[in-house]
Amino acid sequence: MKRVLKWLGIAVLAIVLLIGGFALYVQFRSLPTYDVAVPSVTIERTPERIARGRHLAMSLCAECHRHPTTRTLSGTQMLDLPEQFGIAYSKNITNHPTKGIGAWKDGELLWLLRTGIHPKTGQYVPPWMPKFIHMSDEDLQSIVAWLRSDDGMVSSTDQDNIESSPSWFAKFLVTIAFKPFDYPASPIPQPDTTNLVTYGKYLATGVYDCYACHSADIASMNQLEPEKTPGFFGGGTQMLDVNRNPMYASNITFDKTHGIGTWTEQQFITALRDGFRPNGTPIKYPMPRGVHMSDLELRAMYAYIKTVPTSTNVVPASHVYTPAAGATVGEKAYLSYGCVNCHGSKGIGYGDLRLADKKYPDDSTLISVIRNIRSFYPESTMPIWEGRIKEDEYASLAAHVRKLGRATQ
């Protein structure tokens, strides 16, 4: 009996040492590397491709790579990344020859976007960088054509890249679960845009990847077969706002109690493009605005999501900001309308307010910017607040914005 216990103890100790050794291996290793086989491709940069590429990139690339100060795709911190993945910074993907992708070949960009393997180093790109394995060849080539264009968003920007700090959990995932994808062996055609359900599936699972957030957990998403993702479109994934407070992705199946089953097509379009639910409440960051999406795209996604099996999943309540005692009317409005989720408690976030006080010295202009940002900056994803904010709150809200700007200069 003593001998059995002795060997059992040795076996348990060996298992513990193996687990501990593996944990240390994951912690101290760099991200895994793989072989690189960049395709020899030169993409013709037609005006049609550049326009299509811009249309897609403004909803895909710009959401993560646009810097709030340079206003180009020079990279920034991904503030909405769940804490379990660590701290991540998007890269400079402007046409700078050394700090950006100005010297990259077309095939290198296609290789990275398809496989998730860096074409220069062979290193695997962590799961927060999308891999467009289902996107059509034409759409992906259009994005590359736009990245090569003279558009101001990708103009050469001399900004250093900041290295990300993946957590142990992120390193574990890329060691065990998330692997790079094979480069397609055959062409991926354009979808049939006349079939709304087919086109909507392509957009929701192959282009905009709505399912990645609106399912149970990003860590369990099935990129090869999106519809097999646990909790598909039932929501619950925990994200973060710019203050690192928890925000949960909604159940967007057509369950009438817990999802969006009572929404009309127009209400769906308004929610995605303008950022307001049918009851008038704002949809808060980190949910992006589909301001660059076409009516056809939004109608198609609505048609497809209606076919997704409904879910009764009850999503946890997201963080709610409560004004402190003595808060001004402007501060209360800043919190209640969700400005704080994007701009942060101190005005430094996805949209940086530090320059607002000097940039708009008179209140009438600043209030006009708040009312309709896109009359000043057509590319902005900030909601149009005209008719949404109470008239007697604008002056106080503008005063609070000025206060935040002065405090952070």
The residue-averaged pLDDT of 244-250 equals 93
User: What does pTM read for this prediction?
Assistant: 0.86
Percentage of the chain exceeding pLDDT 70: 91
pLDDT for 177 equals 63
- Does residue 409 or residue 279 have the better pLDDT? 279
What's residue 165's pLDDT?
83
Q: CB–CB of 185/102 below 8 Å?
A: no
Quote the CA–CA distance of 298 and 56 in Å, as a whole number. 13
| Rg of the chain, C-alpha, whole Å | 23
What does the pLDDT average to over 355-359? 82
Q: What is the pLDDT of residue 87?
A: 85
Taking only the tens place, the pLDDT of each residue in 138-193 is: 999 999 999 999 999 999 999 999 988 887 777 777 766 678 889 999 999 999 99
- 94 pLDDT exceeds 70? yes
Tens-place pLDDT, residues 181-233: 899 999 999 999 999 999 999 999 999 999 999 999 887 889 899 999 999 99
| Mean pLDDT along residues 253-273 | 97
- Of 11-15, 44-48, 351-355, least confident by mean pLDDT is 11-15
**pLDDT above 90: percentage of residues in the chain:** 63
CB of 236 closer than 8 Å to CB of 317: no
pLDDT of residue 100: 95
CB contact at 8 A, 288 and 271:
no
Confidence of residue 242 (pLDDT cuts 50, 70, 90): confident
Confidence of residue 409 (pLDDT cuts 50, 70, 90): low
Q: What is the pLDDT of residue 217?
A: 86
The CB density around residue 121, as the number of other CB atoms within 10 Å, is 11
Q: What pLDDT sits at residue 206?
A: 94
pLDDT at 164: 84
DSSP 320-389: ---PPTT--HHHHHHHHTTHHHHH-TTS-SSS--TTHHHHS-SHHHHHHHHH-GGGT-TT--S---TTTS
- Reported as a single tens digit per residue, the pLDDT across 99-109 is 999 999 999 99
Residue 307: pLDDT band with limits 50, 70, 90: very high
Chain centroid, CA 88 distance in Å: 12
Q: What are phi and psi of 77, to 5 degrees?
A: -75, 140
Could you read off the pLDDT of 33-71 as tens digits, one per residue?
A: 889 999 999 999 999 999 999 999 999 998 889 988 888
pLDDT greater at residue 167 or residue 132: 132
Q: Name the burial class of residue 318, with classes exposed (0-12), middle (13-18) and buried (19+) by CB atoms within 10 angstroms of its CB.
A: middle
> Which range, 23-27, 77-81, 180-184, has the best average confidence (pLDDT)?
180-184
Q: How is 28-52 classified by DSSP, letter by letter?
A: HS---B-------------HHHHHH
What mean pLDDT value characterizes the chain?
Answer: 88
Mean pLDDT of 275-297: 92
**Would you call 83 helix, strand, or coil by DSSP?**
helix
